Amino acid sequence: MQAKNVLLTVASAVALGFAALTANAQIKEGTVLAGGGLSLDFGTHKNERPGSNQNTTVTVETRYTNFTFNPKVGYFFTDDLALGLNLNVNSNTNKNKDNGIRSTSSSYTFGVFGRYYFPQKLFLEGEAGFGRQSYNEDDFRNKIFAYSLGVGYAAFLNDHLALEPMIRYQGTQYTNSRDNRYRDKYGALRLGLGLQVYF
């Protein structure tokens, strides 16, 4: 029984030591990373505003579905520092619960990103891109400028594959394509999970 405990202790120490060495290993110059993330969210949005008569309220409730796909590819120009290109594609559907009217929009942004890895596989990432948003029911379009800055962790499942939880601040500006005086600006704190392949 005592020998078994000693064996388990030694095995645990070796495993922890190996994990520490792996965690501190650098990602070498010349490595390529490729991957990205998917997200799907759905819910309801309720809008209330004063009615035409005093002391009345008009309520509009909408169901929405939002899908986002964001592939990226990067290259390590030096140890632990990667630069690359990314694409964000988004599709959104809204349906009025009262009258059943459905509206859809789609958008994309194409841009660049930079990522720096710290010793314990924590990384800092910044990105910026430009794109367009369109509504399918008419010819209304917006120009998009988006940027983000965040921190994440590369949890390697093996030598080449990593799950990457991340928290980031994202800013987005929508500008009317016909009249750039009309602008909407959004800022949000986002949590995400990505999958990357390193080779």
Instruction: Note the pTM of the prediction, 2 decimals.
Output: 0.72
Q: In the prediction, which pLDDT does 35 show? A: 94
**Token pair recorded at residue 144:** 């998009």
Q: Is the pLDDT of residue 17 over 80?
A: no
Q: What 3-state DSSP class applies to 78?
A: strand
Q: Which of 47, 51, 140 minimizes the C-alpha distance to 98?
A: 47
Q: Rounded mean pLDDT of the chain?
A: 83
Q: Is the pLDDT of residue 11 over 50?
A: no
**pLDDT grade, residue 7 (50/70/90)?**
very low
46 vs 61 pLDDT, higher one: 61
Q: Is the pLDDT of residue 25 over 80?
A: no
Beta bridge partners, 100, equal: none
Q: In the prediction, which pLDDT does 22 show? A: 42
Q: In the prediction, which pLDDT does 1 show? A: 44
Percent of the chain with pLDDT over 90: 45
Q: In the prediction, which pLDDT does 137 show? A: 63
pLDDT in tens, 102-142: 888 899 999 999 999 998 899 999 999 999 999 876 667 89
What distance in Å separates the CA atoms of residue 132 and residue 176, rounded to the nearest whole number? 10
What distance in Å separates the CA atoms of residue 19 and residue 69, rounded to the nearest whole number? 32
Burial class (CB in 10 A: 0-12, 13-18, 19+), 31: middle
CB 146, CB 128: distance < 8 Å: yes
